Chains A and B, each alone.
Chain A
Amino acid sequence: MTAMVEARSVCKAYGGVEVLKGVNLTVERGEVTCLIGPSGSGKSTLLRCVNHLEKHDAGELRVDGELVGYEYRDGKLYELNDRQICAERSQIGMVFQRFNLFAHLTVLENITLGQVKVKGRSTDEARLKARELLARVGLDAKERSYPSQLSGGQQQRVAIARALAMEPKLMLFDEPTSALDPELVGEVLDVMKDLARTGMTMMVVTHEMNFAREVADTVYFLDAGVIEESGDPKVVLTQPQSERLKMFLSKVL
């Protein structure tokens, strides 16, 4: 069985600035992986490369054994077209720091849009699934609300339900609690913990060290585009080896 995510010397530069300098990482199926590190360390970029929101420049990136954004045929790499990339992405859920719920759609419509337009489900089927997921994130009473009428925590829970509605094999979380008021962080983390318990493979960019310690199977510490340290969070977060991680932990803990 291949790993869910496999990165081999992945590089990415923005206009000459190297953000990822050869990152190696493996996410096993059913595992929760947390990416930690100072801002600008490349952890969000790495996450966005996994579902091809950003194109990596060099290295090999595989999700579920398949190359991301390319196809390997007759000794050449062929770039995938829009439709093929969309098909790849529809199997990877993503939750953003700023929620990014569709502002013109109600909560229910937010969750049914992808199911109907991408998965080709009927509206009734999609609604049924959406209501089931809303109940799971504790928001079944809010299906008619617009995102602007919800608190940040509620919006993020809807965003998680929207991603889950596509029945992804992998969930990506890009600092899901960083834009939230402190008292709302817990409700989102609870939903994520529940999700981890169901065996969902998750990659989480986070500053919540407690979450990483409690939930993650593996934690990766990125700094300046390279992975400095990785391993069991109970070891990495309590007995940091490198000076950089020691300094980082002293600031966030």
Chain B
Amino acid sequence: MTTNGDAPLKVVPVRHIGRWISGGVALLVIAMIVHTIFSKLPTGQYACSGAKPNRLCHAKTEWRFSWDIIRHYFFTSEILHGVVLTLLLTVLAMAIGIVIGLVLAVMRLSPNRLLSATAWTYTWFFRGTPVYVQILLWYNISAIYPQLSLGVPFTSIAFWHVSAVTLFDPFRAALVALALNEGAYMSEIARAGIISVDEGQIEAASAIGLTRRQTLGLVVVPQAMRVIIPPTGNEIISMLKTSSLASAISVVETLGAATNIYSANYEVIPLLLTASLWYLFWTTVLSSGQFYVERYFARGSLRSPPPTPLQRLRHDAIGIAGKFRTTRGLEVAR
């Protein structure tokens, strides 16, 4: 409100020249990249029409990024089948990995030295060797353990046995390798989450008579989730792409399907791009999912949750509209 009834004062915002220039440069670079992505290349061939002497010829062109070929293969059953396998590997390996990780984290924090040392050794081994090597090892496990059996340890008594070759077909070998490797990483993430929970929370839970297990399940883990979720989201996204290593042991997931096709028709780049676009698509889906899960587990720790992308977009739109409304300004008491 103005004190003397005058019209509201106009506010002149600070001009950020540097921001405008750097913004312009960024825009230029983006425009150049987009232009090359959607540009065409001459093929070296010519297309002619009409008879001499009025014959018209022009150079033939094709998409630099072979968009037509990508579009053709994008939804073929072989690629789609591969995509399903990629998702299956990712979801199963992560699910098993998270369970292993939580168990290992609790073991690591156990007062029992043998348990914590076991968990430490597991993490040491599975983090210390490349996941690619682990996939190859599980695929060839029958060389060292030809037969797996269930029976009395250190005797020949067995109730059930299975040959390692049948048990570890390519898909299962890849799944086991990815899951066990993930377990090692998840255990560190879960451990960081658990130790981030304030000691006072555990004392308060004990004081009302909750058992150690109830305290862990009802008080510690739900609060640790806030710390565990963001890196776990990263792990899922990373797993989506790491699962492509399974193609090395002839699992026909997204990349495997793409290489199968291009080894027959030599359309290497379009098929690699097809695979890349599928990976990008699922990464986008997973990242947006991660945002909402994080928001859910942050309840109670933030006074107001961060805005969703839609809310932010609406807010930005209102802000930009406001910039163009020149009469809008703060009212200053004079």
A contacts, CB < 8 Å to B: 51, 53, 82-83, 86-87, 89-94, 96, 98, 100-106, 113-114, 117-118, 146-149, 159, 162-163, 166
Contacts and interface: CB of A to CB of B under 8 A. Distances in A.
B203 interface: yes
A90 B209 contact: yes
Contacts of B115: none
A82 B203 CA distance: 14
B294 to A, nearest CB: 14
B240 to A, nearest CB: 29
B208 A89 contact: yes
A53 B242 CA distance: 46
B210 A53 contact: no
A166 B223 contact: no
Contact of A104 (B206, B207, B301): B301
B218 A113 contact: yes
Contacts of A53: 203, 206-207
Nearest to A95: B207
25 contacts: A53-B203, A82-B212, A86-B210, A86-B211, A87-B209, A89-B208, A94-B204, A94-B207, A96-B207, A100-B198, A100-B200, A100-B201, A100-B203, A103-B201, A103-B300, A104-B219, A104-B223, A104-B300, A106-B300, A114-B209, A118-B210, A148-B301, A162-B208, A163-B208, A166-B209
A117 B208 CA distance: 10
A89 B9 CA distance: 65
B313 to A, nearest CB: 27
B168 to A, nearest CB: 40
A166 B222 CA distance: 22
A96 B208 contact: no
Interface in B159-215: 198, 200-201, 203-212, 214
A146 B226 CA distance: 15
Contacts of A93: 207-208
Residue of A89, A117, A166 with most chain B CB atoms under a 10 A cut-off: A117
B303 interface: yes
B299 interface: yes
Contacts of A100: 198, 200-201, 203-204
A172 B324 CA distance: 62
Nearest to A113: B218
Contacts of B300: 103-106, 146-148
B210 A117 contact: yes
B302 interface: yes
A152 to B, nearest CB: 14
Given A100-B198, A103-B223, A117-B214, A149 B303 contact: yes
Nearest to A114: B208
Contact of A102 (B206, B214, B219, B302): B219
B211 A114 contact: no
A174 to B, nearest CB: 10
B208 A118 contact: yes
B301 to A, nearest CB: 6
Contacts of B219: 102, 104
A77 B159 CA distance: 45
A215 B1 CA distance: 53
A102 B201 contact: yes
